[in-house]
């Protein structure tokens, strides 16, 4: 048999053998490459997460806290995110993002080979690491599953995951996952949260220039921040607009108008700044019950009793009241100076500056320069000039009391968009104030101020501080007597007396050092006479008074000695205010509460709180006491509140050496307590009584809180016997057995 090559020229035979060897070599090389690729894929995919877990994936989201009208008053979050659906993102935002980040998003299978090859070539040529060319799907894979490390290994994993994601999910699903996950600066994640943060509106309402601004942020949220770098943000925004025009998504006229639009931000107010002490109480409770992770990542909806309008009034009333107190006592100085501490004016930032600034607010400001007649101060992005008229109350020259680097306290009178402000010089000597308001019918806490400045001190003086209550304790003494059969027209002696106690003779006195002789219980309470209150407590027994306070909800320890009748005991403002609500409530106490309902991310109710009520005293006693406390306002120590156009009652309280000033009172619908003092229990100053320091704050708050509301009416007291009895005689003043 002839060979196949027998009739062929030798050269042709050699050529065919060479081709065969080359083909064989190529097959071997391809097989090796395929094997190596398969091996690499096996290695890279072995430890990769399963993307089908995304079907049940829910990103960390914000726990929102709402007031009683559905307004957000606070939030907790590790990542500030509002989860939205694909349809929640307007077409203009979707198109801007795709045109800028991934033009072929709707057609590729997860990766764009041409972009990867081009980017790789440029990086290899420049000696850098593989970077850029990531599709939206690859960015999603990286953000969800991988580290931000820019390496060849991570890039391969990113591509594999992107392909798997594309196989499991639709393009709208992938877009929504990406748009909810991406970081967009200033602690904000996702475009819905970013729209609310930067523009104070939902993403659906974004304009072309606003959408382009947001679409430019994923490339570098810090570099292109419109807050910190508005010039860079503007250039980046215009590049996005150009990309939209290039892709035919907008017209030339639309692009021109959008480019000419200035970058105008409407930054969302920090909701936590409205009622920080209240929100902190909520946080402590939620974390103790549901755990930190659930509270800060679970997207709970927390509905509370707070009224945002009343809270604003409470904040303003307390700060204005403290400012009035400071002015009464003159300039004290002793200002902190940052230059003495080694800091610089250019780099200094005060915690107050992170809060929302508004006219009538108070803020600590940095003195940048000071002369004989003027001083310049800075707070946040605002600059203000202080002149003699803004500091006239100090009776000092500005150059004598302020110098560069000082931290002073000012009231904001006005703010301009240009960054200038008008302010008046105030003082923060350390005096504190607290206010708490409760809805009588539901027990819901409507407003809570725990101190002058939450940034300076987290200690809640409305719920945590135990302070001597002074004469605001006296209503419990009179309630005990009335509930045991006494009448407000019964008489008692107001004259010098000495009580024999186990610790020795006790000779009390009245605040005015005067005595009125025979006096009715009604007048004794209205004028806050000390001697009658002590005589009455001695007669009915201090143990009986303590028993009644416990029924009113007072849980603080009350020492069983006679001076307790004058308020020597330490009680919280929350306890006092809640107890006073018993009077307008016809003798019923409603336990104070913060929450009304808590739901999970899916809207399932986790807990619901309903008013808890308890009978304390008879309706007869409550109505008589209400009328007597009404007389405190009409004819007694609380007479400044008589000008209010709705019925109120209440009681002042002042402690020895004027260390604590109180006013606790009520209308038919709201009970409110105010305390003023120093944390270290030093004197507020001579004549700083409850009527002078605390009552004006209470009046201002109640005026605002009741505006436009039906004030209601107190229930009239019952008909009482016309004859009155004497409850003691000059010789009947022994101490009770429990006194010491």
Catalytic machinery residues:
101, 471
The C-alpha atoms of residue 694 and residue 738 are separated, in whole angstroms, by 33
Q: Which residues pair with 677 in a beta bridge?
A: 432, 660
Is the Cβ–Cβ distance between 282 and 290 less than 8 Å? no
Token duo for residue 715 = 């229930």
The C-alpha atoms of residue 355 and residue 597 are separated, in whole angstroms, by 28
Is the Cβ–Cβ distance between 188 and 80 less than 8 Å? yes
Tokens 């309903």 locate to 610
Tokens 């080979």 locate to 113
Q: Which of 317, 201, 356, 207 shows the shortest CA–CA distance to 693?
A: 317
Tokens 């302010």 locate to 423
Is the Cβ–Cβ distance between 526 and 561 less than 8 Å? no
Token duo for residue 342 = 């080694």
Is the Cβ–Cβ distance between 486 and 626 less than 8 Å? no
Q: Which residues pair with 436 in a beta bridge?
A: 448, 673
Count CB atoms within 10 A of the CB of residue 52. Answer: 13
- By residue count, the chain amounts to 740
The C-alpha atoms of residue 520 and residue 499 are separated, in whole angstroms, by 21
Contacts of 432 (CB under 8 A, 6+ apart): 322, 451, 452, 461, 676, 677, 678, 679
Is the Cβ–Cβ distance between 263 and 225 less than 8 Å? no
Q: Which of 525, 529, 545, 527 shows the shortest CA–CA distance to 537?
A: 545
């Amino acid at each position: 048999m002839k060979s196949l090559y027998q009739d062929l020229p030798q050269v042709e035979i050699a050529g065919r053998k060479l081709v065969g060897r080359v083909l064989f070599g190529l097959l071997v090389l391809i097989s090796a490459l395929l094997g190596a690729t398969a091996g690499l894929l096996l290695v890279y995919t072995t430890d990769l997460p399963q993307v089908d877990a995304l079907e049940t994936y829910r990103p960390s989201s914000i726990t929102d806290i709402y007031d009683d009208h559905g307004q957000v008053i606070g939030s907790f979050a590790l990542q500030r995110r509002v989860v939205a659906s694909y349809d929640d993102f307007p077409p203009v935002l979707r198109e801007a993002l795709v045109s800028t980040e991934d033009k072929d998003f709707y057609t590729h299978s997860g990766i764009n080979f041409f972009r990867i090859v081009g980017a790789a070539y440029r990086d290899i040529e420049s000696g850098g690491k593989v970077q850029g060319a990531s599709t939206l799907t690859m960015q999603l894979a990286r953000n969800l599953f991988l580290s931000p490390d820019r390496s060849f290994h991570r890039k391969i994993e990113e591509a594999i995951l992107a392909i798997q994601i594309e196989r499991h999910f639709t393009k709208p699903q992938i877009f929504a996952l990406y748009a909810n996950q991406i970081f967009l600066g200033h602690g904000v994640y996702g475009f819905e949260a970013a729209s609310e943060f930067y523009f104070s509106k939902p993403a659906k309402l974004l304009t072309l220039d606003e959408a382009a601004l947001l679409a430019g942020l994923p490339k570098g949220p810090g570099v292109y921040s419109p807050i910190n770098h508005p010039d860079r943000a503007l250039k980046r925004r215009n590049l996005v607009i150009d990309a939209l025009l290039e892709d035919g998504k907008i017209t030339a006229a639309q692009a021109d108008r959008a480019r000419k639009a200035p970058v105008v931000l409407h930054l969302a107010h920090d909701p936590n700044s409205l009622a920080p002490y209240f929100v902190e109480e909520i946080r402590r409770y939620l974390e103790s019950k549901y755990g930190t992770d659930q509270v800060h990542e679970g997207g709970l909806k927390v509905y509370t009793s707070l009224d945002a309008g009343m809270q604003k009034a409470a904040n303003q009333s307390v700060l204005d009241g403290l400012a009035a107190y400071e002015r009464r006592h003159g300039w004290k100085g002793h200002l902190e100076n940052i230059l003495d501490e080694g800091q610089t004016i250019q780099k200094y930032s005060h915690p107050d500056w992170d809060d929302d600034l508004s006219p009538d607010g108070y803020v600590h400001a940095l003195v940048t320069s000071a002369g004989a007649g003027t001083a310049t101060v800075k707070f946040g992005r605002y600059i203000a000039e202080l002149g003699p008229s803004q500091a006239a109350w100090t009776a000092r020259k500005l150059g004598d009391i302020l110098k560069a680097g000082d931290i002073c306290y000012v009231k904001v009178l006005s703010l301009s968009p240009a960054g200038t402000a008008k302010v008046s010089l105030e003082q923060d000597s350390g005096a504190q104030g607290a206010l708490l308001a409760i809805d009588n019918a539901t027990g819901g806490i409507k407003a809570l101020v725990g101190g002058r400045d939450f940034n300076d001190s987290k200690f809640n003086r409305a719920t945590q501080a135990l302070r001597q209550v002074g004469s605001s304790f006296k209503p419990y003494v009179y309630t005990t007597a009335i509930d045991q059969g006494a009448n407000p027209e019964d008489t008692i002696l107001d004259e010098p007396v000495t009580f024999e106690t186990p610790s020795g003779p006790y000779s009390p006195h009245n605040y005015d050092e005067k005595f009125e002789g025979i006096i009715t219980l009604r007048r004794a309470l209205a004028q806050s006479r000390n001697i009658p209150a002590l005589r009455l407590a001695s007669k009915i027994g201090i143990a009986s008074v303590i028993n009644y306070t416990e029924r009113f909800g007072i849980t603080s320890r009350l020492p069983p000695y006679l001076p307790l009748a004058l308020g020597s005991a330490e009680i919280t403002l929350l306890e006092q205010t809640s107890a006073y609500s018993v009077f307008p409530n016809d003798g019923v106490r409603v336990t104070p509460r913060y929450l009304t309902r808590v739901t999970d991310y899916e809207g399932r109710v986790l807990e619901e709180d309903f008013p808890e009520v308890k009978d304390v005293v008879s309706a007869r006693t409550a109505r008589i006491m209400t009328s007597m406390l009404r007389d405190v306002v009409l004819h007694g120590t609380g007479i400044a509140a008589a000008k209010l156009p709705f019925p109120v009652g209440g009681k002042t309280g002042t402690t020895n050496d004027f260390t604590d000033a109180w006013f606790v009172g009520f209308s038919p619908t709201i009970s409110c307590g105010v305390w003023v003092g120093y944390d270290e229990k030093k004197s507020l100053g001579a004549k700083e009584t409850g009527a002078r320091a605390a009552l004006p704050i209470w009046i201002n708050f109640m005026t605002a809180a009741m505006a436009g509301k039906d004030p209601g009416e107190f229930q009239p007291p019952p008909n009482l016997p016309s004859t009155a009895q004497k409850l003691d005689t000059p010789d009947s003043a022994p101490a009770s057995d429990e006194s010491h």
